[in-house]
């Protein structure tokens, strides 16, 4: 039987190799067995803030849960777990995404940046400094997501006006209603980073 | 979310072979599928990751713009050729979801996202679309979001995609690959009417992979625009939306193509409204006639009758823009 034969369910196992998953798994006659294989043995490696983390985890673990529960980077927050609040925003290869809506296993080989990766030692990222100076938060729960989104928003060049900032920050909700100060923070950060 | 096996596919042919098993499902951006699986609306034993397939390009060739199925909403929206030649497509994409979701979500996945009907998304409720024959609580329940045209006594859900509305107005074609080989499906036949089988949503067969979308480049398409009416300013699904392609000569409407979102179980093309415009001057009386033609067969429910005037006003607003830009 060729490796391509679907009845052999070739690739069920998540390989340790970055690129793919096509480890030479034993023939898996049915899905129940396939499941067991993946739940027991998935080994993945994630590069977060420049550090490679090797983890054993199930395919169903989201990037958000892998970051928080496995790697221990709890700066990234879980608000809704449904893509609606933006608290879980991280950068993947420089682009902002919602980490609750992707699987950790899908993000192998990419550069993931979380809020912990913004500061350089004691020197805050200009976006972080701008949020402090402008009082861009109250309880702070949404803030890591706001910061990651703001970094991307500035790099994307979506800071031409307050309206543009509001539109392009709209994927991040703030229950404390700090929106005016968040807009001011992004405006100031954009000026300083230009 | 229940456990599942995972495979990353590197070639479309291989993805299709793996998806021949009905227990398997593709995952692209994951932005709808994972929500449905977390909520227990769908269960799949095997996810085939197609996000790395080499189908993410946007090209112009032979009078068409060819969009790869795995291209991301955000990339397509800002593509120069799309902005210039298909403004309605760029606008509809930018009006959808949030910047983060648009960076993840693929065009193919967008077309196949499932309805936001709250009964459908709640597995503790009956729903004909989720569990055939279990009933439709929306008919006599909370149906503010639901369809005013094109529904049936079995389902009145609305299709949530902005992209699909734009592509319907643009007369696009969906390209696919299955075990039987490649084929093309026009947007007009891609979504099935709910009838008494609302669980059958598209013309796709088991395991059929969307490989791309072809959009004809025309003079009509260059003058196109999208209007989306929402409950809040942004980051929300449409209450109603309109994709309009209109070509004028002087005051007279030479060509028109109109598709609507938020009012029907699939993107709703209204040839009746188009016919009310073509060959006539674009003035208040014609616009009113087009609106009346659009909702002639409307069947509103207890909580969504407001959509009947709202969609007419949205049409009037967008047509007025063409008048002003002339
Ligand atoms: C908070 C939020 C707000 C949103 N707001 C909007 C909005 O305003 N307007 C709007 O239009 N959308 C909106 N969306 C929906 C979003 O656009 C879709 O979730 C997204 O486009 C799906 O794409 P995906 O690549 O993530 O698909 P996935 O979630 O990966 O897949 C969805 C489905 O499509 C199938 N599939 C994917 N690609 C293919 C393919 N190439 N061939 C065959 N099958 C395939 C999968 O098997 C799955 O069944 C919103 C989503 C969220 C989470
Ligand atoms: S409207 Fe359709 S999707 Fe909603 S509950 Fe009724 S059958 Fe289900
Ligand atoms: S936790 Fe991801 S968007 Fe809310
Ligand atoms: S600061 Fe409290 S939710 Fe935003």
The structural domains of chain A, with segments of one domain joined by +, span 118-194
| In the predicted structure, residue B254 carries a pLDDT above the cut 60 | yes
Q: Find residue B58's DSSP bridge partners.
A: B67
Q: Given CB atoms, is B99 within the 8 Å cutoff of chain A?
A: yes
- Which of B8, B14, B32 has the most ligand 1 atoms within 8 A of CB, as the residue to mutate? B32
| In the predicted structure, residue B156 carries a pLDDT above the cut 50 | yes
B91 C-beta closer than 6 A to ligand 1: no
B43 in a structural domain: yes
Q: Given CB atoms, is B254 within the 8 Å cutoff of chain A?
A: no
Domain containing residue B26: 5-49
B19 C-beta closer than 6 A to ligand 1: no
- Backbone torsions φ then ψ of A12, nearest 5 degrees: -60, -30
CA proximity to B41, closest of B123, B97, B135, B150:
B123
CA proximity to B315, closest of B251, B255, B240:
B240
B302 in a structural domain: yes
ipTM above 0.85, yes or no: yes
Q: Residue B29 in contact with residue B106, Cβ under 8 Å?
A: yes
B213 C-beta closer than 6 A to ligand 1: no
Alpha-carbon gap: A136 to the closest alpha carbon of chain B (Å): 20
- In the β-sheet with A89-92, what is the strand arrangement from edge to edge? A51-56, A43-48, A111-113, A89-92, A95-98
Q: Given CB atoms, is B285 within the 8 Å cutoff of chain A?
A: no
CB contact under 8 A, A170 and B17: no
Chain B residue with CA closest to A86: the answer is B100
- Distance in angstroms (rounded) separating the CA atoms of residues B30 and A100: 10
Mean pLDDT of chain B: 97
- Distance in angstroms (rounded) separating the CA atoms of residues B184 and B204: 11
The pair of three-digit structure tokens given for residue B58, joined into one six-digit string: 């946007």
This prediction has a pTM of: 0.93
Q: B325 falls in which pLDDT band (50, 70, 90)?
A: low
Q: Whose CA is nearest to atom 6 of ligand 2?
A: B136
- Distance in angstroms (rounded) separating the CA atoms of residues B117 and B121: 6
B28 C-beta closer than 6 A to ligand 1: yes
* pLDDT tens digits along B258-316: 999 999 999 999 999 999 999 999 999 999 999 999 999 999 999 999 999 999 999 99
Look up the CATH number of the domain holding residue B263. 3.30.390.50
Give pLDDT, residue A41.
Answer: 54
CA proximity to B8, closest of B39, B50, B46:
B50
**CATH class of the domain comprising A118-194:** mainly alpha
Chain B residue with CA closest to A41: the answer is B5
- Distance in angstroms (rounded) separating the CA atoms of residues A101 and A79: 12
Task: Give the CA-trace dihedral at B78, B82, B84, B90, to 10 degrees.
Answer: -60
- Distance in angstroms (rounded) separating the CA atoms of residues B65 and A67: 39
Q: Cα(A142) to centroid of ligand 4, in Å? A: 5
Q: What is the DSSP letter of A69?
A: I
- Distance in angstroms (rounded) separating the CA atoms of residues B305 and B308: 6
Residue ending a domain, choose from B17, B32, B49? B49
* pLDDT tens digits along B165-197: 999 999 999 999 999 999 999 999 999 999 999
B119 burial (CB, 10 Å; 0-12 / 13-18 / 19+) is buried
Alpha-carbon gap: B292 to the closest alpha carbon of chain A (Å): 34
Structural domain total, chain B:
2
Chain A residue with CA closest to B19: the answer is A6
CB contact under 8 A, A60 and B10: no
* pLDDT tens digits along A48-103: 999 999 999 999 999 999 999 999 999 999 999 999 999 999 999 999 999 999 99
A80 C-beta closer than 6 A to ligand 3: yes
B88 in a structural domain: no
Q: What is the DSSP letter of A62?
A: B
CA proximity to B158, closest of B311, B319, B314, B41:
B311
B212 in a structural domain: no
- Distance in angstroms (rounded) separating the CA atoms of residues B244 and A191: 38
């Amino acid at each position: 039987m060729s490796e391509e034969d679907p009845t052999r369910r070739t690739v069920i196992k998540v390989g340790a190799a970055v690129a793919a998953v096509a480890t030479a798994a034993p023939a898996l006659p049915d899905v129940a067995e396939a499941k067991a294989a993946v739940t027991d043995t998935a080994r993945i490696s994630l590069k977060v803030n420049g550090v490679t983390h090797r983890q054993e985890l199930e395919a169903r673990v989201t990037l958000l849960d892998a970051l928080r529960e496995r790697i221990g980077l709890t700066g990234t927050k879980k608000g809704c777990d449904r893509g609606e609040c933006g608290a879980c925003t991280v950068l993947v290869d420089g682009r902002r995404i919602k980490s609750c809506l992707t699987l950790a296993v899908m993000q192998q080989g990419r550069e993931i940046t979380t809020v912990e990766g913004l500061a350089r030692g004691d020197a805050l990222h200009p976006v972080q400094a701008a949020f402090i100076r402008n009082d861009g938060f109250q309880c702070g729960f949404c803030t890591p997501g706001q910061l990651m989104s703001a970094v991307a928003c500035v790099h994307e060049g979506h800071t031409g006006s307050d309206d543009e900032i509001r539109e392009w920050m709209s994927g991040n909700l703030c229950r404390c209603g700090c929106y005016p100060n968040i807009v001011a923070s992004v405006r100031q950060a954009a000026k300083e980073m230009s | 979310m229940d456990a599942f096996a995972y495979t990353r596919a590197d070639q479309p042919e291989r993805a299709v072979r793996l998806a021949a098993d009905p227990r398997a499902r593709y995952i692209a951006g994951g932005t709808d599928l994972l929500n449905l699986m977390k909520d227990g609306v769908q269960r799949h034993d095997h996810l085939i990751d197609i996000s790395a397939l080499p189908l993410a390009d946007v090209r112009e060739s032979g009078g068409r713009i060819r969009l790869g199925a795995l291209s991301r909403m955000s990339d397509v929206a800002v593509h120069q050729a799309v902005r210039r030649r298909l403004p309605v497509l760029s606008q509809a994409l930018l009006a959808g979801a949030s910047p983060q979701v648009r960076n993840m979500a693929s065009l193919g996945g967008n077309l196949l996202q499932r309805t936001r009907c709250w009964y459908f998304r709640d597995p503790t409720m009956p729903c004909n679309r989720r569990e055939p024959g279990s009933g439709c609580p929306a008919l006599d329940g909370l149906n503010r979001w639901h369809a005013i045209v094109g529904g049936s006594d079995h389902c009145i859900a609305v299709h949530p995609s902005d992209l699909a509305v734009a592509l319907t107005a643009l007369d696009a074609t969906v390209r696919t690959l299955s075990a039987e080989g490649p084929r093309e499906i026009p947007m007009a036949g891609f979504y099935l009417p709910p009838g008494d089988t609302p669980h059958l949503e598209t013309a796709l067969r088991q395991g059929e992979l969307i490989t791309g979308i072809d959009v004809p480049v025309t003079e009509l398409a260059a003058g196109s625009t999208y209007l989306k009416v929402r409950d809040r300013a942004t980051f929300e699904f449409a209450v109603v939306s309109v994709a309009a392609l209109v070509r004028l000569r002087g005051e007279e409407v030479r060509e028109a193509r109109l598709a609507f979102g938020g009012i029907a179980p699939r993107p709703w093309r209204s040839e009746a409204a188009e016919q009310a415009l073509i060959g006539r001057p674009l003035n208040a009386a014609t616009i009113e006639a087009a609106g009346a033609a659009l909702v002639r067969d409307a069947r509103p429910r207890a909580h969504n009758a407001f959509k009947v005037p709202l969609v007419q006003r949205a049409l009037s607003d967008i047509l007025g823009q063409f008048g002003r830009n002339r």
